[in-house]
């Protein structure tokens, strides 16, 4: 059904905006480098659909643990939406992090030099995350202070 605003011009009805997916995550290490772990929470339109606490990621750095937690969240979210037959292109993804390194690398504000093995791992993790994030209609990365994640995940 079309609407007429002055009898001469057709005005389209308002288009429904994309659904909103939010990913909150945090990673850490016992020692740095050390035993990596991470947690995440995924919300769809404000309602929690997935949550994982203290997943183990092996040995590595704190920054790697941050990316591991995000990658796990993205992997599980993409699988969940696929099983529910929900098209990711209709979704707006918001990723919230307390890591400036993660934020900067995801929005391509700093370059990852692949000179050392740990740098190569960070480059691979960042690339994998971006590949998954680009499946969504649009995405943004928001930095928020550490207190939000401590309250949400306890670490």
In a domain, 50, yes or no: yes
Rank 17-26, 74-83, 139-148 by mean pLDDT and report only the highest.
74-83
Contact (Cβ atoms closer than 8 angstroms) between residue 44 and residue 9: no
In a domain, 7, yes or no: no
Q: Which residue has the tokens 């609407």?
A: 3
In a domain, 4, yes or no: no
Residue 91 belongs to a domain with what CATH number? 3.30.420.10
Question: What's the structural domain count of the chain?
Answer: 1
How far is 21 from 81, CA to CA, in rounded Å? 10
In a domain, 8, yes or no: no
| 123 confidence band (pLDDT: 50, 70, 90) | confident
How far is 57 from 16, CA to CA, in rounded Å? 39
pTM score of the predicted model? 0.82
* Domain region containing 94: 19-153
How far is 14 from 53, CA to CA, in rounded Å? 40
In tens, the pLDDT along 94-121 reads 999 999 989 988 987 666 666 666 678 8
In a domain, 23, yes or no: yes
In a domain, 1, yes or no: no
């Amino acid at each position: 059904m079309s609407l007429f605003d002055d009898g001469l011009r057709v005005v389209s009805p308002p288009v429904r905006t994309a659904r909103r997916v939010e990913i909150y995550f945090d990673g850490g290490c016992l020692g740095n480098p050390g035993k990596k772990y991470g947690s995440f929470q995924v919300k769809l339109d404000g309602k929690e659909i997935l949550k994982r606490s203290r997943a183990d990621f092996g040995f590595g750095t704190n920054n790697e643990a941050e990316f591991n937690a995000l990658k796990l969240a993205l992997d599980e979210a993409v699988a969940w939406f696929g099983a529910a037959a929900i098209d990711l292109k209709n979704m707006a993804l918001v990723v919230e992090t307390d890591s400036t390194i993660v934020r900067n690398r995801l929005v391509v504000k700093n370059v990852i030099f692949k000179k050392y093995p740990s740098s190569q791992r960070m480059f691979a993790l960042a690339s994998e995350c971006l590949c998954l994030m680009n499946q969504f209609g649009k995405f943004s990365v928001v930095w928020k202070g550490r207190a939000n994640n401590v309250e949400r995940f306890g670490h």
